Structure 1
């Protein structure tokens, strides 16, 4: 039975050290590494509130990422000590909103993210309303950022694809929910971008909509569209069905001051 810890708080924070295996050729945190840390702190916050992944599963609830929008002011670097902060915000329809931030030890905001999550019955795969929880989760919407929530991931019209690719979902891509983990999509996006541009620039903004989950053996057709200087749109299709849509902005690197 799900129970809320009597001292449950809307806010949770922790210190992390950026591991080298989550860093790229520049010694900076990969986009997928950022998403992995976001997934981890979100789960840990629920655990601090009093319920784990197993507790939720036994209540026939899993919480799946529906959308994510991030802004990178400076990429966390290999072995850098970083403070992460998170808090659930208000709900929008069936979606639960959550804010996540990465801060340097000097008080510099490095990365900020706005995420939307859905509660799903793991057996029927039906979406549940927030009222499915037997209690009200503590929230704080004072740091809600509409500019992140409004980042667009819309396919451009009358524009030919600049690159194409294919992803076949393999065993190592799967997570506890037996589908392609949300962090793998970030690697799929970055692998489709021009390597020469990735050598010179860094990701500055990223937004993704997870439209249809992918499971073992699924084939995802990928298309990359260039929308302007450093800005790209990526479409992932399973046959005629949209699997995901993403946009990414690349910019100049920023040095540690």
Structure 2
């Protein structure tokens, strides 16, 4: 089996991406994972101009991020990202997170779809410019992305796609859903335990300035379910596991 096509970068764990216990927030982990994915695509010529010219863009459908050890402030992490060719219109991208000794301590498994920017429909047959992407045929890493429903939920407040949380697409950036989900949990639990694992399913975009309602429920002693809803339509669902 040929070696997977990879792209590697190093990142420092900055204070502003960590929690009150100096541990990397899940949203912070997703932001560096998003950055290396963007940098890799830029190197391949998949720039904003390329997407505009081909009237298509990648949108994130779901992901999972899991740590065996949550990184601390000041650590230098090496990220290795591996993209996979489309399977049933879904593009898989996995990013391995290594510590300073080269040990794998985390993994981000994300699934993307290519969408026509004019019709907003998923492209089952990508434009010719996307057909020859140098992605690997098979990436041998995966995480469970299932998000079961709890027996009951309770209201967990509201959130809004504020200016500082939105991206160039003018909607809530996908990494900030992790922040929203964390903020929906009881503070007393997060004060003593970090989020070791998160799975997110993205159902519908939240445009800039729009608000949405949150609900939460326990799945077990260490695991929470969080979901958002806007106008009677589900925005996202999350499953968070604490240390």
**Shift in Å, 1:130:** 5.3
Asked if 1 retains the 8 angstrom alpha-carbon contact of 2:114 and 2:126, the reply is no
Give the total of aligned pairs: 238
Alignment of 1:1-257 (within 5 A): 10-129=5-124, 131-134=126-129, 135-140=131-136, 141-145=138-142, 148=143, 150-157=144-151, 159-161=152-154, 163-251=155-243
Give the 3-state SS of the residue equivalent to 2:126 in structure 1: helix
Aligned-partner SS, 1:50: coil
- Tell me the TM-score normalised to structure 2 length: 0.92
> Compared with structure 1, are the counterparts of its residues 131 and 123 closer, same or farther at alpha carbon in structure 2 (3 Å cutoff)?
closer
TM-score for both structures, normalised by structure 1: 0.87
Contact 2:200 2:237 in 1 (8 A): yes
Decide whether the 8 Å contact of 2:153 with 2:215 is kept in 1: no
- Distance in 2 (alpha carbons) for counterparts of 1:250 and 1:206: 9
8 A Cα contact 1:18 1:29, kept in partner: yes
Out of 117-126 and 200-209, give the one that drifted further. Answer: 117-126
- C-alpha RMSD over aligned residues: 1.7
CA distance in 2, matches of 1:133, 1:249: 41
